[in-house]
Amino acid sequence: MEAMKTEKKLCFEVNFKGNYGQSNFTDRKLGSYQILFNSLRQICSHVVLSWRYVYLQSVDQYPKLYLLINVFSQEDERKVISVLTKGNVSRFYDFQLTDIRKQTDAISSIRSIREVIKDAELIHIPTFTGYLPYCFASHWQDNDFSLVDFVKSAGYEDLILEFSLQTHQHATEQTYWKAALDDLVERLSKNENRKNHGVKQALEVYRQYQEIYSRDSIFTYNIKALGKKSEDTFAILHTLLELTTANTAKRIPPILTFQPGDARFQEHLQATENVQVVQTLDWEGWQTENGQQLEQKLIKETIKSGGILSSLDDGSLSFPTISSRSTFSQPQQPSLSSSNNANPNPNSSDLVLRKDSSLAKIFQPQLPKVEHLKPLQRLTTYEEIQGFLQFFTPPPSTISTNPLTLSAEEIFNQHKRLITSDIYIIGLDDNGNPVTSSWAEIPHRLIAGLPGSGKTNFINWLIFQFLYVNPKRKVYIADFGGVDFQFLKRLPLAVEIVDTPEDCHKLVQNIHEQEYEQRLQLMQEYYVDNVKLLQEEGVDIDRTLWVIDEAADIADESSKLRNSIEKYLKQYARKGRKYGIQVLYCTQRPTTEVITKQVTDQCEEKVVFRVSDDASQRILNNTIAGEIPKNAPGRAWLDGSVGKMFVNVPKMEKPQGTKIPISKTLWHYFESK
């Protein structure tokens, strides 16, 4: 392996952050990794990155993901830590610096090593004999797969799954294979048999390398599994290939095997321990007689011209000796005499070299050879391996500390300074930070969740905060269950509750006439265009909250009532920010009849507790809320002004007759108002 400079190995345990900003997990997570690659290449001249899932059956309940980075200066070390903890990738992942020696136990138990490499073949057709190293074509096939759960449930023993990349720094080597590719593409493009299937396939592969490898960053790679049992290392890599290889793929990357006693086994083991990349590759094709003969051939010798002279052609009849697009830059020969004169003219200004001198050999033109293509099988780009990389991204956790064990009173006491006439607290993110939303920015909200998921608890939490800033605010509730909000009648609050669709129709009309039209008249009278300015004019007016729970009952009862509500939703959505009329549209049955496009368009913020996959897809355009487990009440997916993330809503204790009196809940705040 390549000699290293002074090395510093950094080891980070990687965990998913719940409070990121988009719901498209695959694109955003992998996009952050690509940004990380580019950032590290810019700040470090030489760097090795190694993603590893480490699983010790006797110690770990689940595999843990680590990112190990090998840097070669203290300055690079500081930059790397800064990028991981403060850069873009930190929005998605939490990187905790840990002791690399914790992995020693896992490495010491290794008895089997297997590695995935690029597939390659030697092709032999009448007009072309060549070497084809196929690019990786990895694409993630199953977004529901969780490696963490899979390893645990499948009964694996001690295992390390490793994906390592090293910045490619061999400029001379790169010059050689670029020239060989150029020569091949030029010659095959002119070949009379270029319509032959084999020639077309080779030309496609070489052009792919030309395009991608001239555009993207290039890395040396290792994709390997190290474990106690050979069946485990094979199975996990086989699973990796199954999940990243399309069914239509023609070539499947092979899996190499290394056992104790093999020199390559020890080389790979040391590379894992030292956070290095094994760069040698003894592909079995080169060990064959045909491979050994082909390896030393010039590119021009592998391609015949075809036609009447093809039987005499050794590859040199139809083409120049060196590709016209060769990337080699050769020294000007007049200054380098290759004369064998043992006594050169001492007065001459020319440098005289013998043909067999070492310096003369350095300046000899290097004609493109087949062997110059060999490094391509050990090189890759981000575009090629992003499907594999998906395997090494921790899934977004749908499970968190049971949010209903979090006390609403505790959260209220700690963070009530955040609650204002415009702002309320939705809950906590997965890092324990409060997540807020704004009545001023978003007038209407869609709240969905199956029974027991925490939907009604959340409504109570919002109503409490809405009234906390001003107990005189008005709240209108359409509660078709008839019991969830009756305790509010015991408090000195301006809360009106109806429990039948017929009464709801009257309520809708009252809200429009008593709230909307009255506010419009006042704004016209005071020559202002919003509620806040009315307040500044001294008018005693504030926001009004309209809660619809359960919306499905409206859809079942009357299309006329539903159309009336949707009509006002649309009207309030356009002017709700100015008029201060807020709507909570809630349902436990988010069918297409209940959650119409009109509703989703007008409710700009969505808080979705556990629902079915179909319902989640209908509301959020993904199934993330359908993956929330039953034992996580209060956990919801938020899609709103602050972004898209999981939130955990605290338990809002509700008064229950004499068993739970108002004085024992947060609602006691209003008893003295």
pLDDT tens column, 125-143: 878 888 999 999 887 666 5
With a cut of 50, say whether residue 231 has pLDDT above it: yes
Q: What is the mean pLDDT of residues 255-271?
A: 92
pLDDT for the residue numbered 323: 40
What pLDDT, on a 0 to 100 scale, did the predictor assign at position 526? 92
pLDDT of residue 415: 92
* Mean pLDDT for all residues in the chain: 80
Distance (Å, whole) CA 312 – CA 310: 5
Residues in contact with 655: Cβ distance below 8 Å, sequence separation at least 6, in sequence order: 487, 490, 661, 662, 664, 665, 667
Q: Is pLDDT of 222 > 90?
A: yes
Label residues 286-305 b or e (16+ Cβ within 10 Å = b). Answer: beeeeeeebbebbbbbbbbb
Q: Is the pLDDT of residue 375 over 60?
A: yes
| Widest distance between CA atoms in the chain | 117
State pLDDT tens for residues 381-398: 988 888 888 778 765 554
Task: Find, among 175, 113, 188, the residue nearest to 375 by Cα.
Answer: 175
State pLDDT tens for residues 32-46.
677 777 777 777 778
Average pLDDT on 600-612 reads 88
Question: Collapsing DSSP states into helix, strand and coil, what is residue 70?
Answer: strand
CA-to-CA separations, 617 to 487, 587, 622, 649, in angstroms, rounded: 35, 15, 4, 22
Query: According to the model, what pLDDT value does residue 404 have?
Result: 43
What's the pLDDT at 154?
Answer: 84
Q: Residue 462, Cβ neighbours under 10 Å: how many?
A: 24
Residue among 448, 445, 428, 403 nearest 610 (CA): 448
Is residue 204 packed enough to be buried (19+ CB in 10 Å), middle (13-18) or exposed (0-12)? exposed
pLDDT digits (tens, 9 = 90+) for 412-468: 998 999 999 999 999 998 778 889 999 988 888 999 999 999 999 999 999 999 999
Mention every residue, 6+ apart, whose C-beta is less than 8 A from residue 642: 435, 436, 437
Over 70: is that where the pLDDT of 344 sits?
no
Question: What pLDDT was estimated at residue 106?
Answer: 76
Question: Which range in 29-38, 361-370, 606-615 is most confidently predicted, on average pLDDT?
Answer: 606-615
Q: Phi, psi at residue 109, to the nearest 5°?
A: -95, 5
Q: Which residues pair with 159 in a beta bridge?
A: 55, 227
3-state secondary structure of 648: strand
pLDDT in the model for residue 334: 39
**Residue 23 confidence (pLDDT):** 41
SS (H, E, C) 426-469: EEECCCCCEEEEECCCCCEEEEECCCCCCHHHHHHHHHHHHHHC
Global pTM? Answer: 0.57
| 644-667 core/surface letters (b: 16 or more CB in 10 A; e: else) | bbbbbbbbbbbbeeeeeebeebbb
3-class DSSP state of 68: strand
Beta bridge partners of residue 496, listed in sequence order: 476
Residue 613 has a pLDDT of: 84
Is the model's pLDDT at 3 over the cut of 70?
Answer: no
Does residue 71 or residue 558 have the better pLDDT?
71
CB-based burial, 332-362: b 16+ in 10 Å, e otherwise: eeeeebeeeeeeeeeeeeeebbeeeeeeeee
pLDDT of residue 577: 66
Answer yes or no: is pLDDT of 530 > 70. Answer: yes
> What is the Cα–Cα distance from 38 to 40, expressed in whole angstroms?
6
pLDDT exceeds cutoff 70 at 405: no
Q: What is the pLDDT of residue 495?
A: 94
Q: Residue 643: which pLDDT band, with cuts at 50, 70 and 90?
A: confident
pLDDT of 340 reads 40
In contact, 95 and 24? CB cutoff 8 Å: no
d(CA 389, CA 33): 9
User: Higher confidence at residue 408 or residue 106?
Assistant: 408
